Structure 1
């Protein structure tokens, strides 16, 4: 029987109890030879153990110097779930090393939160709740003069990756016309996925509900700027669910103060300072970056890593986690998880 694969395990900023259930952790430890980082000097730890490592679970830098120490390395799993610019991806591609991230585990939780926030914007559930607590509620029709239905409405999705597709599946029963803008996907592919391909300008102009689900790249930072917001219909709804850097926040707050309604799960600085003026913007629904932060999602990280490790051990290609692609990985600009900031 062949020796088990040796795994160098350094999941920080994730915790082992976050990403593994007790059952999955038992499988992980019994099926593989796990060498866990336990707070010692990382350079010496990696130098000592990389030469015999088959699988690396780590978010730490993996430049050419460290890759040269790991002749047997077959895969790097980033359980923080972003493709960070601290890996020599070209060298990994040259050596046939998979670089993997199980970010899809957050798709359904984020999509459900986006749907809930959209319904609250449409019917002002949050606003009337606050008014009720103040004794200023409006009863019956008086409390619905600016409300609208999501069912049968027009919806635009910006970014049709894991998040956008999960949201689309939830929207099917609402009978919406759904347009999607994703410059990395051809129109025919979008049509086969059941949505109408559209330009960014068309999505912003034609829809009552616009969901920003795109990851941040070198091309789309602050794409939701004053000019884009001016394209929106008066009173339309914009939901920022992916990354704060997708929006110019001063412009977003100005638009939410009058023309449109806005919901956001992400912010330029997290946690947001108590005196930040964003907190006082009217017509804005806030969620403190909690859309994807569910135990069930975090535990799925461990499950997906184990699934792909088993495939790799049997000489098969990984399928449960997303693979870094040569053509796009250098263009990602997502911020890493910062445990100290609570992000």
Structure 2
């Protein structure tokens, strides 16, 4: 029995293989590929291209389509799995993705051929939640600005606006999206004794209440929150979710944080709101073009904290994701069930 592993610069195939013990014990032999880019910036560019335009937007590793012909399992992280690869896999029993996003997989083709595709939900939830909390504090308390000023020889002891600098404790935090990351962040915020507002029409109100939150409409959340943090998925219906109208609803003392997807925010509207001090500030880990262009208007703002799409990148999260996908694959192959299927209709079709 044969399994194929496709790694990349971020999660090399050897690291995925090191977590494949249960499959080896079950008798599987492995063939490894790596979807490599010259550097991390190019990897980000290719990954974003696939995320936006699908698995046909970038080529997979050379030889993958040929290798998959006699494979039963295909595991991948960021590498695209286009239609041709899926169609070549005449013996494929399952495709496993070591992350939540699956835009790089030709899922429709897999479904047509009766091949289940499993993904990992919440693999880096703790990492992103921790980072988000750090970004909130960093922007509210001028941590990055003070650090950068000292590196430049200045002693920074003023605020961007002394009338808009508050402590996080006891404030109102609004979470837009309450999946794995939002729920972990809610637990972490409880120590600050914040009032927690949540907007997520797909999560039961009872789940939000159990986490100490209050389910509210988006407009109410924007009007009342001192910090608005985005944790929604990017779909056509959520693209531009925070635009000029929504930013105008926010308090002039409020902060906007995004560690989810850049497309949730209208970039031009955000830049204008920050330039005109309509909100106190923003903290972003994701951008509309990555790497950020050197002429970006965001770089000219003094009420902005930025990081280079690293919120979910920890060794713990990456290696854990490989373990989780192996568990999901084993569960499906040997128990006939998993709650991590992207295309559950293959079960009924089978």
> Is TM (by shorter chain) over 0.5?
yes
Q: Is the CA contact 1:19–1:300 (under 8 Å) kept in the aligned structure 2?
A: no
Alignment match of 2:287 (pick from 243, 255, 267):
267
- RMSD of Structure 2 on Structure 1 (CA): 3.0
- What SS is found at the alignment partner of 2:75? strand
- Does 1:279 pair with 2:299? yes
- What SS is found at the alignment partner of 1:230? helix
Matches within 5 A, 1:1-343: 5-12=1-8, 15-16=11-12, 19-20=15-16, 22=18, 24=19, 29=24, 31=26, 32-37=28-33, 40-46=62-68, 48-49=69-70, 53-58=71-76, 59-61=79-81, 63=83, 70=89, 72-79=91-98, 81-84=100-103, 86-89=105-108, 92=111, 95=114, 97-132=115-150, 133-138=152-157, 146-257=164-275, 258-260=277-279, 261-318=281-338, 322-324=340-342
Summarize deviations over 1:261-285 as a string: whole Å, max 9, x none: 1000011111112222221112000
Unaligned runs of 5+ in 2: 35-60, 346-350
In structure 2, distance between residues paired with 1:129 and 1:190: 37
Distance 1:286 1:67, change over 3 A: closer
* Farther-moved stretch of structure 1 (169-178 vs 122-131): 122-131
Distance 1:208 1:326, change over 3 A: farther
Unaligned runs of 5+ in 1: 328-343
Summarize deviations over 1:162-195 as a string: whole Å, max 9, x none: 1111211111111111111112223334334432
TM-score calculated relative to the size of structure 2: 0.79
In structure 1, distance between residues paired with 2:31 and 2:147: 51
Distance 1:62 1:125, change over 3 A: closer
In structure 2, distance between residues paired with 1:227 and 1:19: 46
TM-score calculated relative to the size of structure 1: 0.80
How many residues are aligned here? 313
